[in-house]
C-alpha cells in the first residue's frame, strides 16, 4: 500500500493530541488549540476526538482527506 507523506492512514489513535492537520482538498487547517467554530468543536479538542460525522467546514472533505502538518 502506498502512502503519501503526512498521511495518518485513517488511524486517529496514531495522532498526538496537539497534532494540526490540513485538508488536502482546500488546505484548511484543523488546529486543536482553536477547535472548529462552524461545527461547534471546543478549543482543546484533538483531531482524534472529532465526531464521526465531522467534515471539513470549508469543503466538506472527510477525516481521511486530512494530512498531518509538521
Q: For 13-46, what is each residue's pLDDT tens digit?
A: 778 899 999 999 999 999 999 999 999 999 999 9
> How large is the average pLDDT for residues 48-65?
94
Where residue 6 falls among pLDDT bands split at 50, 70, 90?
low
- Looking at the predicted structure, is the pLDDT value of residue 56 above 90? yes
- Looking at the predicted structure, is the pLDDT value of residue 58 above 90? yes
pTM: 0.85
If residue 68 lies in a helix (H) or strand (E), which one and from where to where?
strand 66-68
Grid cell for residue 56: 471539513
Average pLDDT, the chain: 88
CA distance 51 to 2: 27
Amino acid at each position: 500500500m502506498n502512502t503519501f507523506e503526512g498521511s495518518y492512514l485513517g488511524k486517529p489513535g496514531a495522532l498526538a493530541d496537539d497534532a494540526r492537520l490540513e485538508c488536502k482538498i482546500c488546505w484548511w487547517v484543523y488546529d486543536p488549540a482553536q477547535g472548529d467554530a462552524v461545527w461547534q468543536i471546543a478549543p482543546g479538542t484533538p483531531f482524534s476526538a472529532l465526531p464521526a460525522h465531522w467534515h471539513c467546514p470549508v469543503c466538506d472533505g472527510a477525516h481521511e482527506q486530512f494530512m498531518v502538518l509538521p
